[in-house]
């Protein structure tokens, strides 16, 4: 498939996902998760082996639905006038290997990235962490940018883990979700708990939550909390 060949239902779906992905980038700046152009959101296109991702190195203020890039799940551009994010291969690898994932986010949010720089998982010492992450937020391996290595590290770390966030060592945060919005939420929550746990540790030892309490909190938040 080449640029401009998206037709019919897929074309309408892609137009909707372009808008969604573009708008979700506003949340990265709103919550101060990114500096300059250093983060990205993507979403899987339902019903097709495609994804929509941010263009590389374009200011968040200048992003438009039209500037989003449509690629295959191997990172090949099929629609768009810009080069896709440098993390395209990482996002694509996640979509290929985690069929339940429909959204991926990358940030360099400062407190969470500081934990990644120390190669240190964030321990589960807050009810908000148990709620959203179901335990610690793990660290993934160091990987160079471009190619499949970041994606392999994300999948190897998060597969079978309840956390939708991984701190990629010496790099930053990658989150996954059943939707792109859910992945953005996980990125927001990840930075929030990274900051609080960091501050807590400067005042004294951290107090872990017992595993059975983590389970109870996670089940309540994931199954009961909010509007059903």
Ligand X SMILES: O=C(CO)[C@@H](O)[C@H](O)COP(=O)(O)O
- Binding region for ligand X (CB under 6 A): 37-38, 40, 54, 56-57, 85-87, 106, 145, 172
Half-sphere exposure of 196 (CA within 13 A, CB side): 13
Minimum CB distance to ligand X, residue 14 (Å): 19
CB closer to ligand X out of 58 and 121: 58
Active site residue 215: no
Contact call for residues 42 and 104 (beta carbons, < 8 A): yes
CA 52, CA 63: separation in Å to the nearest integer?
A: 13
Q: Which is nearer to ligand X, 148 or 215 (CB)?
A: 148
From 79, 87, 89, 131, active-site residue: 131
* 103, 61, 19, 86 alpha-carbon torsion, rounded to 10°: -40
Give the whole-angstrom CA distance, residue 222 versus residue 213. 14
Gap between the Cα atoms of 180 and 147, Å rounded: 22
Q: Name the minimum Å distance from CB 153 to ligand X.
A: 13
Active-site residue, 225 included = yes
Taking the least distance from each CB to ligand X, the nearer of 73 and 143 is 143
* Nearest distance in Å: CB 86, ligand X: 4
The residues annotated with a catalytic role in the active site are: 131, 225
């Amino acid at each position: 498939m080449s640029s401009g060949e998206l037709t019919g239902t897929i074309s309408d779906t892609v137009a909707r996902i372009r808008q969604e992905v573009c708008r979700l980038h506003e949340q990265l700046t709103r919550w101060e998760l990114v500096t300059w152009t250093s983060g990205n959101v993507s979403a899987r296109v339902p019903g097709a082996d495609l994804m929509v991702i941010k263009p590389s190195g374009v200011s968040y203020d200048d992003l438009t639905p039209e500037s989003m890039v449509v690629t295959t799940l191997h990172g090949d551009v099929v629609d768009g006038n810009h080069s896709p994010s440098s993390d395209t291969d990482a996002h694509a690898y996640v979509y290929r290997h985690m069929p339940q994932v429909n959204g991926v986010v990358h940030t360099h949010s400062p407190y969470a990235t500081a934990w990644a720089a120390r190669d240190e998982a964030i321990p589960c010492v807050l009810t908000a962490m148990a709620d959203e992450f179901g335990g610690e937020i793990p660290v993934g391996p160091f990987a160079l940018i471009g190619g499949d290595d970041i994606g392999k590290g994300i999948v190897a770390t998060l597969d079978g883990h309840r956390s939708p966030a991984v701190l990629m060592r010496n790099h930053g945060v990658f989150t996954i979700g059943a939707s792109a919005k859910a992945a953005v939420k996980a990125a927001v929550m990840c930075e929030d708990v990274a900051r609080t746990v960091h501050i807590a540790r400067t005042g004294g030892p951290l107090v872990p939550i017992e595993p059975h309490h983590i389970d109870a909190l996670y089940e309540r938040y994931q199954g009961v909390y909010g509007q059903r």
